[in-house]
Amino acid sequence: MQKILLYNYISRKKEIFTPLHKGWVGLYTCGPTVYNYQHIGNYRTYIYEDILRRTLEHAKLKVKHVMNITDVGHLASDADEGEDKLETGARREGKNVQEIVKFYTDAFVADTQKLNIKRPAVLTPATAHIKKQIALVKKLFEKGYAYDTSEAVYFDVSKFKGYEKFSRQKLSQTRTGAREEVIIHTQKRNPHDFVLWFKTVGRFERHIMHWPSPWGEGFPGWHLECSAISTNYLSQPFDIHTGGVDHIYPHHTNEIAQSEAVEGKQLARFFLEGEHLLVQGGKMAKSSGTMFTLRDLEEKGFNPSAFRYLVLTAHYRTKLNFTWESLAAAEQSLKRLKDFVLELKDASADAKDRNNTVRAESRTRLAKAVVEFEKAIFSDLDTPKALAVIWKLINEYRKSAEEKKLKIDPKAALMLIYNFDNILGLDLNKIKKEKIPVEIIALAEKRETYRKEKNWTEADKIREELAAKGWEIKDATKGMRIKKI
Other C-beta atoms lying within 10 Å of the C-beta of residue 476: 11
Global pTM reads 0.89
> Exposed, middle or buried by CB within 10 Å (0-12, 13-18, 19+), for 377?
buried
Structural domain of residue 165, as residue ranges? 5-274
Whether 160 and 303 share a structural domain: no
- Domain assignment of residue 285, yes or no: no
Residue 177, pLDDT above cutoff 70: no
Whether 379 and 411 share a structural domain: yes
- Domain assignment of residue 289, yes or no: no
Distance of alpha carbon 181 from the chain centroid: 33
What tens digit of pLDDT does each residue of 13-47 get? Answer: 999 999 999 999 999 999 999 999 999 999 999 99
Q: Which of 307, 312, 479, 484 is nearest to 382 (CA)?
A: 312
Specify the number of domains making up the chain.
Answer: 3
How confident is the model at residue 351, as a pLDDT? 60
- Domain assignment of residue 291, yes or no: no
Structural contact between residues 358 and 407, judged by C-beta atoms closer than 8 angstroms? yes
How confident is the model at residue 355, as a pLDDT? 59
**CATH number of domain containing 314:** 1.10.730.10
Whether 61 and 99 share a structural domain: yes
**CATH number of domain containing 221:** 3.40.50.620
What tens digit of pLDDT does each residue of 324-366 get? Answer: 999 999 999 999 999 999 989 888 876 655 556 667 888 888 9
- Domain assignment of residue 286, yes or no: no
How confident is the model at residue 263, as a pLDDT? 95
Whether 171 and 249 share a structural domain: yes
CA within 13 Å, CB half, 27: 28
* Rounded Cα distance, 215 and 180, in Å: 26
Q: Which of 225, 192, 226, 230 is nearest to 211 (CA)?
A: 225
Whether 97 and 195 share a structural domain: yes
What tens digit of pLDDT does each residue of 263-288 get? Answer: 999 999 999 999 999 998 898 887 77
Whether 426 and 453 share a structural domain: no
| 1 vs 242: which has the higher pLDDT | 242
What tens digit of pLDDT does each residue of 206-263 get? Answer: 999 999 999 999 999 999 999 999 999 999 999 999 999 999 999 999 999 999 999 9
Whether 457 and 426 share a structural domain: no
Average pLDDT, the chain: 90
Whether 462 and 397 share a structural domain: no
What tens digit of pLDDT does each residue of 155-172 get? Answer: 999 999 999 999 988 887
* Rounded Cα distance, 229 and 190, in Å: 27
End-to-end CA, the chain = 39
Structural contact between residues 399 and 405, judged by C-beta atoms closer than 8 angstroms? no
How confident is the model at residue 108, as a pLDDT? 97
Is the peptide bond preceding residue 237 cis, with omega within 30 degrees of 0? yes
Element (H, E) at 21: none
Whether 249 and 308 share a structural domain: no
- Across the range 53-72, mean pLDDT stands at 97
Element (H, E) at 270: strand 268-274
